[in-house]
Amino acid sequence: MKVRVFYHDKCFDGACSAALFSRFYRERVRDEAEFVFSGLVHRAGALFDESKFDGDENAIVDFKYSTSPKITWWFDHHLSAFLTPEDADHYERQQSTKKFYDPDYRSCTKFIATIAEKRFGFNPEPVAEMVYWADIIDGALYPDATSAVEMKEPAMKLTMAIEATQNPKFIPRMIPLLASRPLAEILAEPFVAEVMPPLLKRHAESIHVLRERTECKDGTVYFDVTDRELEGYNKFIPYYLHPECVYSVGLSKSSFRTKVSVGSNPWSHADRYVNLAKVCERYGGGGHARVGAISFEPGNFETARGAAREIVDELRASYRENNGSR
């Protein structure tokens, strides 16, 4: 029995969601299942290759909805879970008892744990540490920016490794461990431990680069690092460097996309916030109300910069309107 699990790649919550789903499935659905883990990324164009929906069962966790009848399980918590209104209608009409959506959850991992426990009698207690940290990390529930950037906890170091890895086998190798081992033990695994020193060095360098590149004005930080290999940088660095800001907009690149990241400062006390998922949806992206992203074709820097500048102008105008010009 082959179960292929598609998950949000290069994302701690995505990896934890895949781990939790596989443990739940083995314990409450079919214990002899063989799991194959496949990462999905937001990119310009088609997000799914349906030829890869080749399991006896296929699940998508922490990623957008697919109308394919080959997808038998689905869990997501993003406001932008549906590519089109037709996809949303399809979900509302479907009669499946294996597809679930709730954008009120901070993490998909916690969402899966709740549904699995309430609907299927699964006990999430053995993986409580993983569920807790997925909620902290995906919900940006750190006490302050310094804690988020210093990354002292094992979960935060694992997040850095997951977000920065270029090895397609790294996260699928980690997922079964997330389902069964304490996070500190996973961090000590040789294949994980060996990547940490260069990643920590890269992290320190990214703080230096962003210190030079960030421009903070009218409550919004803007930066462009498309000339550097920095996708997967710690997204809290802008707030660490500019604690007074409310929003951040940054451009970065990778082999498969040019990315515009749009976020809001988790420690800001602004009275009103722009819904960033709705902003990003206008450019083909999406996310949550407080954080989102847009993917453009690799090397399409001009279009990405144009979108980023428009978003920066919009966020700065909103800040001036709500807070007065400063």
Interatomic CA distance for residues 158 and 231, integer angstroms = 16
76 and 181 in a single domain? The answer is: yes
80 and 204 in a single domain? The answer is: no
Instruction: Extract the runs of DSSP E, i.e. beta strands, from 41-107.
Output: 57-61, 71-76, 99-101
Question: pTM to 2 decimals?
Answer: 0.88
Handedness of CA 146, 150, 152, 154 (dihedral sign): positive
25 and 136 in a single domain? The answer is: yes
Tell which of 193, 225, 259 closes a domain: 193
Q: CA of 286: how far to CAs of 198, 282, 321, in Å?
A: 31, 8, 24
Question: What is the chain's alpha carbon radius of gyration, rounded to the nearest angstrom?
Answer: 19
212 and 150 in a single domain? The answer is: no
Q: Which residues are bridge partners to 215 per DSSP? A: 222
pLDDT of residue 255: 84
Structural domain for 186, as ranges: 2-193
Q: What is the pLDDT of residues 74-87, one digit of tens each?
A: 999 999 999 899 99
Number of compact structural domains in the chain? 2
Interatomic CA distance for residues 19 and 25, integer angstroms = 10
Interatomic CA distance for residues 182 and 129, integer angstroms = 7
- Give the dihedral of Cα atoms 23, 98, 44, 298; nearest 10 deg: 10
170 and 67 in a single domain? The answer is: yes
CATH of the domain at 170: 3.90.1640
307 and 170 in a single domain? The answer is: no
Tell which of 141, 173, 193 closes a domain: 193
The mean pLDDT values, 10 residues at a time, for the chain of 326 residues are 97 98 97 96 80 96 96 96 94 93 97 98 98 96 94 95 94 98 98 96 94 95 92 90 97 91 94 94 93 94 96 96 69
pLDDT of residue 42: 82
pLDDT of residue 326: 45
95 and 205 in a single domain? The answer is: no
121 and 82 in a single domain? The answer is: yes
Neighbours of 85 (CB within 10 A): 8
277 and 161 in a single domain? The answer is: no
pLDDT of residue 323: 80
270 and 246 in a single domain? The answer is: yes
pLDDT of residue 45: 67
211 and 181 in a single domain? The answer is: no
CATH of the domain at 288: 3.10.310.30
> Pairing state of beta strands 247-253 and 258-264?
antiparallel
212 and 183 in a single domain? The answer is: no
- Give me 71's structure tokens: 């997808």
Tell which of 193, 217, 240 closes a domain: 193
Q: What is the pLDDT of residues 108-146, one digit of tens each?
A: 999 999 999 999 999 999 999 999 999 999 999 999 999
